[in-house]
Amino acid sequence: MVAPSDLFDLEGLGFADIFSGLEEVWEVLDRIKDYTAEAVLNAGCTGAILRGGGEVLPRTVVLHGARVFDSDFQLLGGDPTKSQMRVRLNGEEVSDAAVVFAGAVFMDDLVHISPGAVVEPGALLKGPTYIGPGTEVRQGAYLRGGCLVGAGCVVGHTTEMKNSIMLDGAKAGHFAYLGDSVLGREVNLGAGTKLANLKIIERPYHIKVEDTVFHVARRKFGAILGDGCETGCNSVTNPGTVMGQRCLVAPCQNVPAGWHKPKSIVR
């Protein structure tokens, strides 16, 4: 009921092995940082060539193949999450170039930007952070490290993320907070959604699933949302929330901690 395969379609998922051998899905929270660091090192540390160390990127650059272009390109526009972002390099149009706009900040080298991704001005990224292909990191986003982001995702305007996973197609488009959390495929967080991750009083989390009670002894535990879940604007999940696939949360709701079975509606 709360195994990773119960909440997520792992078939063909690039990060599926991070869940390997886990009986309860929240165990993955302890793996995120090390797994992300290894993924970045294996893929290549883009941050190393983008002034990693806290300097503001002085001009827009395009990443294509093993090269960084700071001239001789034209941005043609398009939605990167739909593989429609087009760039003309030396007169040839390509669809697999990443674009990092002037004003982005890479605090260290341990960041990877995949082909087709876009990082907008004012975004700040700390390692280890992996940005998947076709993902959009919008203006003012704050990625604090331990951020494993899949393909076609949106880390939105002034959205903060730390020690969290976004599986393919997940979107946190506006003013969201993701701490010690996992968003399944095609999850959509309405504007202002906060996934609270810290109890005021330090006590274990107790998650009851049918007749079984799981006791989770960890300090920080945000929300784990199965594939296809959606939250309305300005909703807040309490620490230790686990939602099955395709749950819906109405706007301005305070979502109780614990287990919510698939297709639940919180209103």
Q: For 79-135, how does the pLDDT look when each residue is reduced to its tens digit (9 = 90+)?
A: 999 988 899 998 899 989 999 999 999 999 999 999 999 999 999 999 999 999 999
Q: For 129-160, how does the pLDDT look when each residue is reduced to its tens digit (9 = 90+)?
A: 999 999 999 999 999 999 999 999 999 999 99
CB atoms near residue 20 (< 10 Å): 10
Q: pLDDT band at residue 199, thresholds of 50, 70 and 90?
A: very high
- For 4-266, give the CATH class: mainly beta
Average pLDDT value over all residues in the chain = 96
Q: For 10-57, how does the pLDDT look when each residue is reduced to its tens digit (9 = 90+)?
A: 999 999 999 999 999 999 999 999 999 999 999 999 888 887 888 899
Domain boundary assignment for the chain: 4-266
- The reported pLDDT for the residue numbered 235 is 98
pLDDT at 212 over 90: yes
Q: CA 123 to CA 125: how far, in whole Å?
A: 7
pLDDT at 217 over 80: yes
pTM for this entry: 0.96
Q: pLDDT band at residue 214, thresholds of 50, 70 and 90?
A: very high
- The reported pLDDT for the residue numbered 54 is 87
Better pLDDT: 51 or 247: 247
* Percentage of residues in the chain having pLDDT higher than 70: 100
Q: Which of 174, 206, 215, 260 is catalytic?
A: 174
Phi-psi sector, 263: left (phi>0), alpha (psi -120 to 50), beta: left
**Catalytic annotation present for 174:** yes
